[in-house]
Amino acid sequence: MQNITNLVASITYPNPQSIAFHEKFNYKKIAHFTKCGYKQNCWYDMVFMEKMINKHETLAKEIIYLPDLDKNLVEKILQK
């Protein structure tokens, strides 16, 4: 059985109300991206906030790197 261990929020910045809301629930700022979101004719920064909700107790699966994936499988996935 898989458990959700992390919750991540992507927030337009500045947005003090949303940041305060997430901080109230113990989210921590983990990343700040500069001028990467565009809305209402303006560029905005983005902030990622994260909250750990479970322990990371099980072993993670082995990472498979893109060049090692079956090329037919990659093509099939990208065509969807």
69 occurs within a structural domain: no
Number of domains observed in the structure of the chain? 1
Give the pLDDT of residue 2.
Answer: 57
pLDDT at 1 over 50: no
User: How does pLDDT run across 50-74, given as a tens digit for each residue?
Assistant: 999 888 877 777 877 878 888 888 8
70 domain residue, yes or no: no
The answer to whether 45 touches 18, Cβ cutoff 8 Å, is no
Tens digit of pLDDT for each residue in 4-49?
Answer: 789 999 999 999 999 999 999 999 999 999 999 998 999 999 999 9
Q: Side chain identity at 65, as an amino acid letter?
A: Y
Q: Is residue 49 part of a domain?
A: yes
Instruction: Supply the DSSP string of the chain, one letter for each residue.
Output: -----EEEEEEEES-HHHHHHHHHTT-EEEEEEEEEEEETTEEEEEEEEEEE-S---SPPPPP--GGGS-HHHHHHHHH-
CATH classification at residue 27? 3.40.630.30
Confirm whether 74 is domain-assigned. no
